[in-house]
Amino acid sequence: MTPTSPSRTAGRPVRRVVSLVPSLTEAVAVTAPGLLVGATDWCSRPAGLEVVRIGGTKNPDVAAVAALSPDLVIANEEENRPPDLAALRAAGLRVMVTEVRSLPQAFSELERVLVEGCGLVRPGWLDQAAAAWREVIPRAPRLRAVVPVWRRPWMTLGRDTFAGDLLARLGVDHVHAQDPERYPRVDLARLPPADLVVLPDEPYRFTARDGPEAFPGLPAALVSGRHLTWYGPSLAEAPAVIGRALRAALR
């Protein structure tokens, strides 16, 4: 899909975009190949993406971004640091910052970035993703899960997180959902009662040999971090992918 009715910045159509967020990188690249000119080192999708790499999400090279002369830089309030975003704006760049803490917010922010920000027609994959989640029937009875996101120190999902909202819609409530912190450090010896542990492969790469052994007695669901934490084209597959991982753990 190519841009139509392009958004404008200082009288120019938006034809060059730099993304500082892996989810948004995939969303733009799938929707309008060729629009994206720069992305972070962590932007791994779509496979074979050929754009200029401008550093990490937490330490983008501001000069490298500016050298690409983007019409728009897209970022996220959780993944990117305010000082970096301020430096990009000080360099005269337009920066659009998303906030995504729930599935409805993900859908609205994706449309805002793609349609309002990039001047694209709403993509079909976004409608497919919305339809996939409308068809979800939460499992019953509901389950309680520990959901680590990091090790050394152990950190889990806490309150007000996108991944927590996805799991809740599938019938899985995570045990730290009411914690004051969004990603609290936890003591494994003092975990609340749970039915299983859900281990994503990002941001920490949990595997069958690295993670489940720390939760003896709990079934372990190894899930794709891209489907649990990314908001983009993967949302269309996420209910089925996460659901399979949960069922496999509970057999």
Q: What is the pLDDT of residue 12?
A: 60
- Print burial letters for 149-166: b (CB count within 10 Å at least 16), e (below 16): beeeebbbbbbebbbbbb
Distance CA 225, CA 238 (A): 10
Q: What is the pLDDT of residue 33?
A: 87
Q: What whole-number distance in Å separates Cα of residue 94 and Cα of residue 72?
A: 5
Is the separation of the CB atoms in 69 and 88 below 8 Å? no
pLDDT for 192-210, tens place per residue? 999 999 999 999 999 999 9
pLDDT band per the 50, 70, 90 thresholds, residue 1: very low
What sign has the CA pseudo-torsion 225, 228, 232, 233? Answer: positive
Sequence length of the chain is 251
- pLDDT confidence of residue 74: 97
Domains of the chain as residue ranges with CATH:
8-122 (3.40.50.1980), 136-249 (3.40.50.1980)
Q: Answer yes or no: is pLDDT of 36 > 80.
A: yes
Tokens found for residue 222 = 């190894």
Cβ(73)–Cβ(66) under 8 Å? no
Task: Give me the pLDDT at residue 10, please.
Answer: 43
Q: For 115, which DSSP code?
A: I
The per-residue pLDDT for 13 is: 80
Whole-number pLDDT of residue 153: 97
Q: What is the mean pLDDT of the chain?
A: 93
Looking at the chain, the whole-number percentage of residues with pLDDT higher than 90 is 92
Backbone angles phi, psi at 95, to 5 degrees: -120, 125
For 223-250, write each residue's pLDDT tens digit.
999 999 999 999 999 999 999 999 999 9
Interior angle at CA 157, CA 80 and CA 203, nearest 5: 50
Q: Is the peptide bond before 216 cis (omega within 30 degrees of 0)?
A: no
pLDDT digits over 61-108, tens only?
A: 999 999 999 999 999 999 999 999 999 999 999 999 999 999 999 999
Q: Dump pLDDT digits (tens) for 175-195.
A: 999 999 999 999 999 999 999
Name the maximum alpha-carbon separation found in the chain: 61
